[in-house]
Amino acid sequence: MGVSNIDFWESYYYNNIMEKEMVKKITAILDKIKEKETGLSLAQLDIIEKLRYVKEKKKFIVLKNLEKSTQGGIILITNKALNRMMNELKEEMETAFPEHTVEVI
């Protein structure tokens, strides 16, 4: 279950880890970034396993799940496409949250 799951975001908001506006911005970014061939968004592809927020350091850590990009040994998303989407995610999040750093692992 990746970060597109609503329970994940609700727990972040209700546990006061993130402000509601932060959650909305991140959700919009995950919906905005698309895989070019299928047109599916990062949220739909569910390849981001976790998105950690370290409030004290003003830092987001994005953990991608490469197993979700493969199925039965067949690569569903090419490394090039995955890297492009992760770079775009980093850029979009740094633009939306200029006072924060973003690390994609």
Provide the whole-model pTM: 0.74
pLDDT in tens, the chain (105 residues): 455 554 555 555 545 667 778 888 988 998 899 988 878 888 887 788 888 888 889 998 888 876 655 555 445 677 788 889 999 999 999 999 999 999 998
Check residue 66 and give its pLDDT.
67
The domain over range 6-104 is classified in CATH as 3.30.300? yes
What residue segments make up the domains of the chain, in order of their start?
6-104
Check residue 65 and give its pLDDT.
75
Residues in Cβ contact with 48 at an 8 Å cutoff, skipping those fewer than 6 apart: 2, 3, 4, 30, 42, 62, 63, 64, 65, 89
Check residue 98 and give its pLDDT.
95
Q: What whole-number distance in Å separates Cα of residue 8 and Cα of residue 27?
A: 11
